[in-house]
Amino acid sequence: MVSKTIDPCSNQGVPAMRFFKILKEKIILFVFRIFSRLETYFGLPFGYLTGHLGAGEEVGKIGRVPSIIFNLGNWQLHLHHWLISLAILIFVFSFLAKKYKIPNILLFFGSGFLIGLIFNGIFCYDDWHKILIR
pLDDT digits (tens, 9 = 90+) for 1-19: 555 555 555 555 567 778 8
Question: How far is residue 110's CA from residue 42's CA, in Å, rounded to a whole number?
Answer: 9
For 3-17, give the DSSP string: PP---TT--TT-HHH
Helix 38-54 with 81-91: angle, nearest 10 deg: 150
Domain boundaries, the chain: 38-133
Cα 95 → chain centroid: 15
pTM: 0.76
Residue with the bigger pLDDT between 54 and 33: it is: 54
pLDDT tens-digit profile of 52-95? 999 877 887 888 898 899 999 999 999 999 999 999 998 988 88
